[in-house]
Structure 1
Amino acid sequence: MSRHAREVAAGMDGAAQGERSLAPAVTRAAAILDMLAERRGRAVPLAELARGLGAAKSSVSNVCNALAEAGLVRRTPEGFGLGRRLVGYAEAYLAGVDIVREFQDVCREREDCQEETVQLAVLGESGLEVVYLARRDGRHPVVLASQIGRPLPATTTATGKAMLAELPPAELAARLGAAGPLAHPTSESITDHDELRRDLDAVRERGYALDSGETLEGLLCLAATVPGTATRGQAAAVSFTGLATAASAGRRRERAERLRGLARDLGARMGAPEVR
């Protein structure tokens, strides 16, 4: 149950709820929507909603019926589910989301990002290039090959490999087949298609991508995809970059976990479902 629904279910009767909310009915309606969202499309019986909220069935029924009249929930033989009108609200919200602004906000809010050089990149609509949209330097900035708006090879950059690893197999094969020889800006760059596929298999297994001197010698970059961005039409990824000499195995794992947390936070702001 979400935090909001838990607050309502924690024994808040009408009087107590009134002390904490300027509009108790709206607060209860929001908690009902939270509970329905957690069921991922499965209808919830009225009795179960009332029990989860710790409220009388009659009170919950009144709120649900009002939500149904507004198109925010739908009645089914099994109970209540989310209504179709919410789709329009979601689309309107997502249309106004600026991923660069949200990236900067998330980086500012996360204390564990302050040490890192953090970047945001998107995968081109075709081919094997990534374009960097934003960068935020940490307390120990490094010189990077990437520049805002400049394309770089997806096959050598961690951000690019993270996004390539999530492509459907047929699309990945098409992009590789049309690309010709792979870019090799350094001696560490992968130039063989089979070796690249093995590297992408490793990305999927561990949940993040690595660029160990493949784009610029001496640097280690970790990247993870931003959940939900591919389904909106353009995949995005975030990365941490630092000196390879400062990257022990233990520190790499710790940085990868922080990176995945950043990616999840940004994804949530972009409308991706919450990862549990």
Structure 2
Amino acid sequence: MENEATAQRDRSLAPAVTRAAAILDLLAERRGQAVPLADLARGLGLAKSSVSNICNALVESGLLRRTPEGFGLGRRLVGYAEAYLAGVDIVREFQDVCRERAGSQEETVQLAVLSETGLEVVYLARRDGRHPVVLASQIGRPLPATTTATGKAMLAELAPQELALRLAAGPLPRLTGHSISEPDELRRDLAAVRERGYALDEGETLDGLLCLAATVPGAATRGQAAAVSFTGLATAASADRQRERAAELRALARDLGARMGAAESH
């Protein structure tokens, strides 16, 4: 009995192309490991002869490579990936993700990047939710990374040596009475961010507001760390509500990362 994937291939207008795509998908799932021809055929529900013909054609084009263990992804795919990523606009993708995710329409959602040196974040985009709030952040305006949730989310992922270098630049700024002003206290807060999986700004940038932030997977490897945040009134956030919104925020960050070319995490 045919499975759904096989049925879809059979209905394709170009079955060979659809089967080639299925081979590439299966090899991508193996994270670079070569797969024997028999395993490919079995995994796709196709005859070995058909899979062999397609794989050999893909090898000739550079999309696959042949190894003693079987077939693996080819170097030519790297060029395609680089060409795709060069054309990706993170701001546009951020706006698209926000539009598509109904769960992100409650609070104000923001996208920020970490400066290449020092302790500043710059906000690139903002989408107001159903309950807009007055924010300290403005598009293009830098804010201290140590007081903002987006900044702390990105600082938490820096190597210890890189973090120490940035902290050595001078005293930590204070925007409110809740702002962290001591490096050791900041390090403890960043450790909590890593354990929790998201960062918090509890009135540290502007009194009365609660901000949750998570990093965008893969952004740092593309040259500049990025993070997304939800901001709302602190009085509206119970512990259960915070956990619920954090889960939605992290899902939004993963979606944005996937659009930017990050590998899916499980």
By the TM > 0.5 criterion, same fold? yes
In 2, the alpha carbon distance for the partners of 1:112 and 1:120 equals 16
1:70 aligns with 2:64: no
In 2, the alpha carbon distance for the partners of 1:226 and 1:274 equals 12
Provide the aligned C-alpha RMSD in A: 1.1
Correspondence 1:51-200 to 2 at 5 A: 51-178=42-169, 180-200=170-190
Correspondence 1:27-66 to 2 at 5 A: 27-66=18-57
Q: How many residues align?
A: 265
**Matched AA of 1:120:** L
Aligned to 1:255: 245
Q: Contact (CA 8 Å) 1:9, 1:53: kept in 2 or not?
A: no
Aligned to 1:5: none
Aligned to 1:245: 235
Q: How far does residue 10 in structure 1 lie from its aligned partner after superposition?
A: 3.9
Label 1:45 to 1:138 Cα distance change in 2 as closer, same or farther (>3 A): same
1:17 aligns with 2:9: yes
**Is the partner of 1:12 in helix, strand or coil?**
helix
In 1, the alpha carbon distance for the partners of 2:256 and 2:73 equals 25
**Matched AA of 1:105:** D
Q: How far does residue 115 in structure 1 lie from its aligned partner after superposition?
A: 1.2
Q: Contact (CA 8 Å) 1:224, 1:239: kept in 2 or not?
A: yes
Q: Which runs of 5+ in 1 are unaligned?
A: 1-7
**Is the partner of 2:135 in helix, strand or coil?**
coil
For residues 187-245 of structure 1, what are the alpha-carbon distances to aligned partners after superposition, in whole Å with 9 as ceiling and x for unaligned? 00000110000000000000000000000000000000000000011000000000000
**Matched AA of 2:226:** A
Q: Contact (CA 8 Å) 1:190, 1:214: kept in 2 or not?
A: yes
Question: What TM-score comes out, normalization by structure 1 length?
Answer: 0.94
**Is the partner of 2:231 in helix, strand or coil?**
strand
Which portions of structure 1, spanning 4 or more consecutive aligned residues, are displaced by more than 2 angstroms?
8-13
Q: How far does residue 114 in structure 1 lie from its aligned partner after superposition?
A: 1.2
**Is the partner of 1:112 in helix, strand or coil?**
helix
Q: How far does residue 9 in structure 1 lie from its aligned partner after superposition?
A: 5.6
In 1, the alpha carbon distance for the partners of 2:105 and 2:218 equals 25
Question: What TM-score comes out, normalization by structure 2 length?
Answer: 0.98
**Is the partner of 2:121 in helix, strand or coil?**
strand
* Among 252, 263, 275, the residue aligned to 2:265: 275
For residues 143-181 of structure 1, what are the alpha-carbon distances to aligned partners after superposition, in whole Å with 9 as ceiling and x for unaligned? 000000000000000000000000011100000012x11
Aligned to 1:225: 215
Q: Contact (CA 8 Å) 1:132, 1:147: kept in 2 or not?
A: yes
**Matched AA of 1:247:** A
**Matched AA of 1:257:** A
Q: Contact (CA 8 Å) 1:9, 1:52: kept in 2 or not?
A: no
